[in-house]
Amino acid sequence: MAQDLNANLDAYWMPFTANRQFKKAPRLLTRADGMYFTDDKGRQILDGIAGLWCVNAGHNRPKIVKAIQEQAAEMDFAPPFQMGHPKAFELAEKLVQLTPAGLNKVFYTNSGSESVDTALKMAIAYHRVRGEGARTRLIGRERGYHGVNFGGISVGGMVANRKMFGTMLGGVDHIRHTHDPARNAFSVGQPAHGAEFADDLEKLIALHDASTIAAVIVEPVAGSTGVLIPPQGYLQRLRQICDKHGILLIFDEVITGFGRTGNPFAAQTFGVTPDLMTVAKGLTNGCVPMGAVFATQNIYDAFMNGPEHLIEFFHGYTYSAHPLACAAALGTLETYADEGLLTRAAEMQGYFAECLHSLKGEPNVIDIRNIGLIGGVELTPLPGEPAKRAFNVFLDCWDKGLLVRTTGDTVALSPPLVIEREHIDRIIDTLRGALRRAA
Ligand SMILES: Cc1ncc(COP(=O)(O)O)c(C=O)c1O
């Protein structure tokens, strides 16, 4: 049913939004169920991006809704410092059944950005508690996105996220990104070329010396800078170089975690295990804010010394392990398990890839990239107006009842993992029409 919100849109300063454009022609969502949103005009909008890469089980899932409702009535809040509640422990035990072997400690946060800054702090502190306090440098990657906090933007490599905010963290360097359209355009799955981009790390080690470097952080699949799939052998090579030099490897799995690439985590899809792993989004199916950092036993043990009554790691948030978030996450994991969703992308990716790559040859399509249930369609920019063509495609899709996401001139897709073939067909048909109209 259509709703008249009659809202004044003035006071709300919207995040990562073209505020003036939005407020002239608002896109208001009022309900969500399964694969669809409903907007304020009562239109059904097919969700091509799982909300924001988070609603992996689709919207309005009964077990998650019930878990949150019951928890709110049972215990609304419990302090996480020097106190605990049973669901926080139960959830951690369940999570470490899903993580790659060795990542068996869970530190809770409330978002991807907090997970990233937590992991960076953990890495630096880990070396310090081991007596290698000179290892403070952090290495990120060009075109990386690690959220919006100061640590995350410092190791991140998105110019727009960095240029406005001063000098950020000191002692940060970057390896090159892996996007190489000249050799890899229209690759299906992992591109063949580019493992050698990992050797940039050796160059930075030669420049700074390994004894000053704490950690390297990368997204296994870079999402927010245009869906960049790791070249074959690239992540393996990064792992080898880190091992050789005693540097921690951090995977930021905020978008790839919880089934997006066909396994619970991209680390499993690509066969490379990091020392620290950050997650959020799909952890609670997007229903309640929550993130986490997974750490190895070795990292945890390094902190567990000194007098037992003293806090070992001076870090945490008021809302770490919030009861509502833990309940939502438990309901989410149950839903994923009931429906086999953490491996469903592996079953659907063949059809998804075939349909996605059928867009090759449509106007201005210069590259198509995919892995699991992630797709990217890169377009030639409009002359002198970068990002505008993709934005026009986004608006056109919205008009036709499809939600996609754009980053620069790439249209990104990351649908709920409950997607069926007919939804994929509709996403591709709608996008094809929009691409033609944007020509
Ligand atoms: C790889 C990655 N890291 C971190 C974040 C930040 O997460 P949040 O927006 O929950 O802070 C995102 C968000 O999209 C992400 O894609």
Instruction: Indicate the SS3 state at residue 218.
Output: strand
Report the C-alpha gap between 245 and 230 in whole angstroms.
22
Tell me, what amino acid is at 300?
Answer: Y
Tell me, what amino acid is at 143?
Answer: R
Helix extents (H) in 99-168: 112-129, 150-155, 159-162
Give the per-residue pLDDT at 5. Answer: 55
Going residue by residue through the chain, which has 439 residues, state the pLDDT in tens, using 9 for 90 and above. Answer: 444 555 799 999 999 999 999 999 999 999 999 999 999 999 999 999 999 999 999 999 999 999 999 999 999 999 999 999 999 999 999 999 999 999 999 999 999 999 999 999 999 999 999 999 999 999 999 999 999 999 999 999 999 999 999 999 999 999 999 999 999 999 999 999 999 999 999 999 999 999 999 999 999 999 999 999 999 999 999 999 999 999 999 999 999 999 999 999 999 999 999 999 999 999 999 999 999 999 999 999 999 999 999 999 999 999 999 999 999 999 999 999 999 999 999 999 999 999 999 999 999 999 999 999 999 999 999 999 999 999 999 999 999 999 999 999 999 999 999 999 999 999 999 999 999 999 9
**Does residue 145 have its Cβ closer than 6 Å to ligand 1?**
yes
H or E element that contains 312 = none
**Does residue 109 have its Cβ closer than 6 Å to ligand 1?**
no
Q: Is-contact 184 191, C-beta < 8 A?
A: yes
**Does residue 253 have its Cβ closer than 6 Å to ligand 1?**
no
Residue 48 Cα to ligand 1 middle (Å)? 18
Give the per-residue pLDDT at 6. Answer: 55
Domains of the chain: 19-60+341-437 (3.90.1150.10), 65-339 (3.40.640.10)
**Does residue 223 have its Cβ closer than 6 Å to ligand 1?**
yes
Q: Which atom of ligand 1 lies at the shortest distance from residue 278's CA?
A: 3
Alpha carbon of 8 to those of 4, 5, 15, 38, 144: distances in Å?
A: 12, 9, 17, 20, 36
**Does residue 225 have its Cβ closer than 6 Å to ligand 1?**
no
Q: Which of 110, 82, 119, 149 is closest to 319 using CA atoms?
A: 110
**Does residue 254 have its Cβ closer than 6 Å to ligand 1?**
yes
Residue 178 Cα to ligand 1 middle (Å)? 19
18-24 contacts at long range (C-beta below 8 A, 24 or more positions apart): none
Residue 174 Cα to ligand 1 middle (Å)? 18
Report the C-alpha gap between 318 and 128 in whole angstroms.
25
Alpha carbon of residue 269 to chain centroid:
15
Pocket of ligand 1, candidates 17, 117, 145: which has the most ligand atoms within 8 Å of its Cβ, to mutate? 145
H or E element that contains 265 = none
376: tokens are 């990217």
Tell me, what amino acid is at 303?
Answer: F
Q: Which of 359, 430, 367 is closest to 394 using CA atoms?
A: 430
Give the per-residue pLDDT at 186. Answer: 98
**Which stretches does DSSP call E strand in 155-219?**
172-175, 213-218
**If 0-12 CB within 10 Å is exposed, 13-18 middle and 19+ buried, where does residue 338 land?**
exposed
Pocket of ligand 1, candidates 16, 108, 109, 146: which has the most ligand atoms within 8 Å of its Cβ, to mutate? 146
397: tokens are 């899709």
Q: Which of 143, 140, 149 is closest to 168 using CA atoms?
A: 149
Alpha carbon of 268 to those of 53, 78, 222, 248, 253: distances in Å?
A: 19, 34, 16, 18, 11
